[in-house]
Amino acid sequence: MMMSTETQEKRPVNGKNMYSYIAEAWKNPDQGYVRDLNHERKIQWRREENFLRIERPTRLDRARALGFKAKQGYVVVRARVRKGSFNKRAITAGRRAKRRGINKITVGKSLQRMAEERTAKRYPNLEVLNSYWVGADGQQEWYEVILVDPSHPVIKADPKINWICDNVHTNRVYRGLTGAGVDGRGLRKKGKGAEKSRPSIRSKQYRKK
């Protein structure tokens, strides 16, 4: 069957669509036009409040790949988390310097996972679907978190997303069920080198021999 001339003109010549070009540009955000855009964006993002709801995703290709749709019931929030290691309060009792443990304390969660949990705390009536990285500077990193309203009638009527309306998915971000949570729990690793990742790093660490 021969295709019409209009159909042939609409189809890309090289087989790429709009999302492919966006994803290719974001592979190296420090080069090309994304670098210039992010430089201007960060100036504005630093002045904005944290956990700000935005109208449209910054990375449309990544948002669509993670389940976002431009319809009612979906919310995108830009969150920022400070970078670097954490500190504990100074120990006043006797310790040798090796056991004081004040500086360079790393947490078991990634910054992306922390951004998701803090966003869920800010929007308690929504469920976190997923998130993606959008930028960083010397002090903080920005993530855009995709949230879904499980009580919205449009979400309930959509068979592709109404699974999130079940009570079993309540507070899914706090149980490590998002993409960043699954990655942090070691569920993307298998085979040699992943023996201490499951069921959790903590259970393996404190397990009695």
- The verdict on residue 96 lying in a domain is yes
The SS3 call for residue 146 is: strand
- The verdict on residue 93 lying in a domain is yes
- The verdict on residue 176 lying in a domain is no
Alpha-carbon span 178 to 27, nearest angstrom: 22
- The verdict on residue 84 lying in a domain is yes
Q: Give 94's Cβ-side CA count (13 Å radius).
A: 0
- The verdict on residue 130 lying in a domain is yes
- The verdict on residue 138 lying in a domain is yes
What CATH code is carried by the domain that includes residue 27? 3.40.1120.10
pLDDT tens, N- to C-terminus, the chain (209 residues): 455 555 455 555 667 888 898 998 899 888 888 888 888 999 999 999 999 999 999 999 999 999 999 999 999 999 999 998 777 777 788 878 777 777 777 788 899 999 999 999 999 999 999 999 999 999 999 999 999 999 999 999 999 999 999 999 999 999 999 999 999 888 888 888 888 777 766 777 655 54
The count of structural domains within the chain is: 1
- The verdict on residue 39 lying in a domain is yes
- The verdict on residue 198 lying in a domain is no
Which range marks the domain in which residue 84 is found?
Answer: 12-171
Q: What is the pTM of this model?
A: 0.82
- 17 by Cβ neighbours in 10 Å (0-12 / 13-18 / 19+) ranks as exposed
